[in-house]
Structure 1
Amino acid sequence: MKFATAYSVSLDDKVSIYDVRDLNFDESTGFDSDKDSFLCPNDACRAAFDSTNALSTFNAKNVNYQRTPHFKNKPGTRHIDGCRYAGSHKSATGESDDEREENFPSEFVLTRRLYEPKTPVVGNDASALQEPTKAPANRTTTSSGSNDTTPDKTSVFAHPVECYVSNIDDKDKLKAMPLKIGEHTATYWAFFKKIEYLQDNQGLIYWGKIKAIKDYTSSFRIDFEKKVWLDKRPYSVNVYLSKKLIENYRKRTAFLEQIKAAASSERPLYCFFYGVTPQLMQVPSKKNPEQTFGVFSARIENLDHLIIREAPGLES
């Protein structure tokens, strides 16, 4: 059985698997999911057992992943009678439900959720962790509090993207599920816009197949395969990632590992981003600087809102 949410002993709060992935790569924190302990999100169930009654994680630390990340029961994980998380204990191998994200957040929050670790976690020795017999403290975050269901908000861009990608074969669901970003509310289907149609609306999540990634050593440019047509003429589309943006990024090491691998990869990759809309601009020609040519381009402002990933079936 998949868990979208679990109780983190080190954070003394309920977190999504996407929060855990985000923290694992965050160089501004000392978080390491391998040194934490994750327990049932049901408060009554969690209080009935000690902290050795833990869950495991799936795809919590892989920079790139193809199957939906989640928490899951270990073979020895116990639950009280009636706990909705009792479910199956079978391994992830061969589980068909690993491939689809079923927990759709209704809002993508643009302000990143922050955490304050409760106590240093020095290893997997459960005796070193405080017993989580109480409900999580109230916080001014997107915490689910005493509710054991999946939070309906997320500040991790990977979560709505995974919902869209893994459910791309169910367009009716994507057209029915609501999503709010800022003051704009639409369905998942309407919020995700192919890059070639970026002129249709502003402020959406744009995505497209990557043609090439230009590695300028300290900065990068992502070129998209599809072009934008304007006045019966095709224009290339790209986004630029500046040196300053990358150097100041809290997940710099993981990001550089990912984008450098992507730049040399021959596998089909896609880029999703939010927060900027490429605009038509005139840039000088390399062969003849006195001449210019048109291109739709954008300078990315927040790397938390950009993802490069595989997305099987996205354009089938």
Structure 2
Amino acid sequence: MKFETAYSLTLDDKLSIYDVRDLNFDETADFDSDKDSFLCPNDACRAAFDTGSNTLSTFNAKNVNYQRTPHFKNKTSTRHIDGCRYGSTHKTATGENDDEREENFPSEFVLTRRQYERKAPLTGAEGNIPQDAAKTPSNRVSISHSTNDSTPDKTSVFAHPVECYVSNIDDKDKLKSMPLKIGEHTATYWTFFKKIEYLQDNKGLIYWGKIKAIKDYTSSFRIDFEKKVWLDKKPYSVNVYLSKKLIENYRKRTAFLEQIKAAVDSERALYCFFYGVTPELKQVPSKKNPEQTFGVFSANIENLDHLIIREAPGVD
């Protein structure tokens, strides 16, 4: 059985698998999921067993690029109390691989990144750890997570709503019924995700499209989209630019560079999803004749946390 939320013994909090991925790649965070212990998110179930041995495993927690939905899953040795819904071994009647679809739709994508505090008991004068130190509540500035075992309905990790959309692209009725809030705007997943060629329809959406090419300028990149925008019966190319400063200051710089450099030479069909900017029509000088200009819809990406390059089979 796969599930998206687990209790982190290191952070003393319930994390989604997307939180774990985000922390694994974050160069400013002292975190390694291989060194953590993940336990059942059901409080009663977790309390019934020894935390040192009754752990869960992760799937796609560290892969920069993944094709199947990340999740936590039970080990053969993992035990659950009677009635715990995470103890089920039920498989779908159709035999569908349970890795292929994200079923936990967050109802809100929070633009402020969640902050985590490691559980760090203070050491006494003689080197002993006070018994109550580990029980002291942490003062976290974070997304509000419920104390029960249900999946959090908010996320600050962009990969989560994108995975919901991509992995359920064959179920348009579900995408049209699931609500999503970003900032002050609430709509359905189907409405929020807008193909790049229709970016003029509305601002403030999650735009996406198939990548035509990625221009590598050594320290910066430009992503060109395959589809064009039509304006006044004329087609215009669309691109987004990732500046040197943006990349250098990115907390997941190493993972991002690994991903985008692999994408530059990839022969696979790749797609770019981004939020926070809307490409606008700009006049760009021609390389052959700088005195002449041509129109292109372009935008400078402002936050790499809100951009993803990935495979997305079936979206076209």
For residues 179 and 193 of structure 1, the distance between their equivalents in structure 2, rounded to whole angstroms, comes to: 14
| Aligned-pair identity (%) | 86
Matching of residues 5-154 of structure 1 within 5 Å: 5-51=5-51, 52-88=53-89, 96-119=97-120, 139-154=140-155
For residues 96 and 273 of structure 1, the distance between their equivalents in structure 2, rounded to whole angstroms, comes to: 28
Note the C-alpha offset of 1:86.
Answer: 0.6
Post-superposition Cα deviations, 1:224-248, rounded to whole Å, max 9, x if no partner, equal 0000000000000000000000000
Note the C-alpha offset of 1:146.
Answer: 1.7
Structure 1 residues 222, 157: closer, same or farther in 2, change over 3 A?
Answer: same
For residues 4 and 307 of structure 2, the distance between their equivalents in structure 1, rounded to whole angstroms, comes to: 22
Note the C-alpha offset of 1:149.
Answer: 0.2
Note the C-alpha offset of 1:137.
Answer: 5.7
Note the C-alpha offset of 1:66.
Answer: 0.3
Structure 2 counterpart SS, 1:288? coil
For residues 238 and 79 of structure 1, the distance between their equivalents in structure 2, rounded to whole angstroms, comes to: 50
Residue identity opposite 1:232 in structure 2: K
Matching of residues 143-182 of structure 1 within 5 Å: 143-182=144-183
Matching of residues 197-276 of structure 1 within 5 Å: 197-276=198-277
Post-superposition Cα deviations, 1:8-64, rounded to whole Å, max 9, x if no partner, equal 000000000000000000000110000000000000100111111000000000000
Residue number in structure 1 paired with 2:311:
310
Structure 1 residues 138, 71: closer, same or farther in 2, change over 3 A?
Answer: farther
For residues 8 and 144 of structure 2, the distance between their equivalents in structure 1, rounded to whole angstroms, comes to: 12
Residue identity opposite 2:169 in structure 1: I
For residues 238 and 137 of structure 1, the distance between their equivalents in structure 2, rounded to whole angstroms, comes to: 43
Which 5+ residue runs of structure 2 have no aligned equivalent? 122-130
Contact 2:116 2:140 in 1 (8 A): no
Residue identity opposite 2:210 in structure 1: K
Contact 2:23 2:31 in 1 (8 A): yes
For residues 149 and 271 of structure 1, the distance between their equivalents in structure 2, rounded to whole angstroms, comes to: 30
Contact 1:136 1:145 in 2 (8 A): no
Contact 1:135 1:146 in 2 (8 A): no
Contact 1:203 1:277 in 2 (8 A): yes
Structure 2 counterpart SS, 1:281? strand
Contact 1:14 1:136 in 2 (8 A): no
Structure 1 counterpart SS, 2:11? coil
Q: Alignment RMSD, CA only? A: 1.9
Structure 1 counterpart SS, 2:87? coil
Structure 1 residues 143, 58: closer, same or farther in 2, change over 3 A?
Answer: farther
For residues 47 and 89 of structure 1, the distance between their equivalents in structure 2, rounded to whole angstroms, comes to: 24
Note the C-alpha offset of 1:180.
Answer: 0.2
Contact 2:146 2:152 in 1 (8 A): no
Which 5+ residue runs of structure 1 have no aligned equivalent? 121-129
Note the C-alpha offset of 1:3.
Answer: 1.3
Structure 1 residues 95, 34: closer, same or farther in 2, change over 3 A?
Answer: farther
Structure 1 runs of 4+ aligned residues shifted over 4 Å read 133-140
Aligned residue pairs total 302
Note the C-alpha offset of 1:142.
Answer: 2.0
The TM-score with structure 1 as length reference comes to 0.92
Structure 2 counterpart SS, 1:160? helix
The TM-score with structure 2 as length reference comes to 0.92
Note the C-alpha offset of 1:138.
Answer: 7.3
